[in-house]
Amino acid sequence: MSQELDCLSRRFTAGRLSRREFLGRAAALGLSATFANSLIAGAAMAQMPKRGGILKAGLSGGAATDTLDPAKALEAISFFNKCWGEYLVALTADGELENRLAEEIGSSKDAKVWTFKIRQGVEFHNGKTVTAEDVVATLERHSDKESKSGAQGILAGIESLKADGHDVVVTLKQPNAELPYLMQDYHLVIQPNGGKDNPAEGISAGPYKVAVNQPGVRHGGERFANFWQSDKMGFADQVEVIIINDPTARVSALQAGQVHMISSVDPKVVDLIKRVPNLKVETASGSGHYVFNMFCDTAPFDNQDLRMALKLAVDRQELVDKILRGYGTVGNDFPTSASQPLFPEGIEQRAFDPDKAKFHYQKSGHSGPIPLRVSEVGFPGAVDAAQLFQQSAAKGGIAIEVKRVPGDGYWSEIWNKQPFCASNWGPRPTQGMMYSTTYRSTAPWNDTHFFNERFDKLLNEALGELDKDKRKNLYREMAIIVRDEGGTIIPMFYQSIDAISDKVGGYVGRVGSLMNSYALTQCWLEA
């Protein structure tokens, strides 16, 4: 109970829970109103936001090819985008939607026409006022196939967009009950004229203005004096993202005080960090998962028996035990977890079976080593995981050749370029969003080249189905298709593991690493 109380107190003082919500949840834990109010008073005094200083984060996944264009954001740059970018909506620590630039959201009864009322008086970093036209232009750009935006897949159902005064009206080709959740996708930074003029300029309406942009090295922002919600975000004078791709170097930088927080902590060093007096570890469960991707349209992975052989050749529990050190659960080759709504129960858990793996491998007709490209940037422990995969696959007569590649440029040169590699996917609030982003045939980030007409049809039906039980059944059928026919091996769902200095105040545990990338904007320096 003490951990739950601590979490509640921090959420309240960080402005993520109202007083009423705090008291209600405290009562549910069996606390009296008097005691709960005393907790509020004590927590507020201990965690009052402080302004000033330079708050720094050490992150992996940065590369010299990074760009501030939100459409192309990956890993570390997507984290920095949440420092300078502003969105229509955001997710709260409880996974609910919070209105940002969208002051109100409404829809037609069939969820086919959605209206977003745009907040008035919000200023871009260049001094211009955010308008409904800017929002329309943003959604137009990211839904355009030529933009190659990572959000194109989730916006594929838009039929038309228009600005009507202060409202943005989105008409869909078919109903989508999950549309508001899609708008919090980290690519959809609202920019002047939608970023059509210069998307990499780094102009939006977030709490920080871009001051430093050295791709693959560091990114920095200075507090935006006219930020519309400065009482809740943007406490540090400056924020800085330092690219440290090596996991050991990240921990060393945190211990030395060069940064105040790091993400993607390797589970094998968690206990060591916990023993350092001025550091603490923060974990959160969710739908984030580590994967080995196979291109379904590229030999030898265009053979379904070979793909099945590799799926059966993974000892998932061994990876959870040895790579995650228990900070996660086994995966089942479809990308949704029990943390998401409408999770499809009752699908048989795939287990390590070298005999069946050998059967499918021999049936595929393939022979010779299969190259698997990995880097620690792919996910923490990816190299060790690949070597364990190599050993378990050998028991089924399958030879995997582990090729360790440099971390710099991994996301531009290896992921979605090479036919078999390690990767990871962060948490998504809904199954529809996850499937639309990376499994729809037309999605730019379809990183297994999975093209399945039946799946696409089911996805369209699910997104338009307002009956939750029927939508759940559709998601279940989709999960089975991906599990049995797709090119994704999902051996494990991970807990995000961050490490932070005791100089950081306002840290609130939430799904996604470093507070779903909002730690720099919502935390502060205590000293």
CATH number reported for the structural domain that contains residue 519 in this entry = 3.40.190.10
Q: Are 382 and 296 within one domain?
A: yes
Please report the pLDDT score of residue 325 as a whole number: 95
The whole domain housing 295 covers 289-494
Residue 380 in domain = yes
Amino acid at site 397: G
pLDDT at 107 over 50: yes
**Cβ(92)–Cβ(12) under 8 Å?**
no
Q: Are 371 and 465 within one domain?
A: yes
Over residues 409-433, mean pLDDT:
94
**β partners of residue 329:** 493
Over residues 217-240, mean pLDDT:
97
Please give the distance of CA 175 from its chain centroid, rounded to a whole number. 25
Residue 443 in domain = yes
Q: Are 406 and 477 within one domain?
A: yes
Instruction: Specify the CATH number for the domain of residue 119.
Output: 3.90.76.10
Residue 501 in domain = yes
Q: Are 294 and 418 within one domain?
A: yes
Task: Report how far apart, in Å, the C-alpha atoms of 224 and of each of 18, 46, 230 are.
Answer: 26, 26, 9
- When the pLDDT of each residue in the chain is averaged and rounded to a whole number, the result is 92
How far, in Å, CA of 230 to CA of 228, rounded? Answer: 6
SS3 368: coil
Give the total number of structural domains in the chain.
4
Q: Are 157 and 228 within one domain?
A: no
Q: Are 336 and 434 within one domain?
A: yes
For residue 56 the two structure tokens come to 């720094």
Would you give the end-to-end CA distance of the chain in angstroms? 29
How far, in Å, CA of 119 to CA of 122, rounded? Answer: 7
Q: Are 462 and 344 within one domain?
A: yes
Amino acid at site 503: K
Reported pTM: 0.81
pLDDT at 499 over 90: yes
Residue 71 in domain = no
The residue among 197, 215, 246 that closes a domain is 197
SS3 219: strand
Digit-coded pLDDT (tens) for 259-302:
999 999 999 999 999 999 999 999 988 899 999 999 999 999 99
Q: Are 383 and 476 within one domain?
A: yes
Amino acid at site 245: N
Q: Are 332 and 442 within one domain?
A: yes
Residue 72 in domain = no
Residue 440 in domain = yes
Please report the pLDDT score of residue 8 as a whole number: 58
Residue 69 in domain = no
How far, in Å, CA of 432 to CA of 434, rounded? Answer: 5
The residue among 197, 216, 242 that closes a domain is 197
Please report the pLDDT score of residue 234 as a whole number: 98
Digit-coded pLDDT (tens) for 364-408:
999 999 999 999 999 999 999 999 999 999 999 999 999 999 998
Over residues 493-518, mean pLDDT:
92
Q: What confidence tier does 45 reach under pLDDT thresholds 50, 70, 90?
A: very low
Digit-coded pLDDT (tens) for 187-218:
999 999 999 999 999 999 999 999 999 999 99
Please report the pLDDT score of residue 44 as a whole number: 43
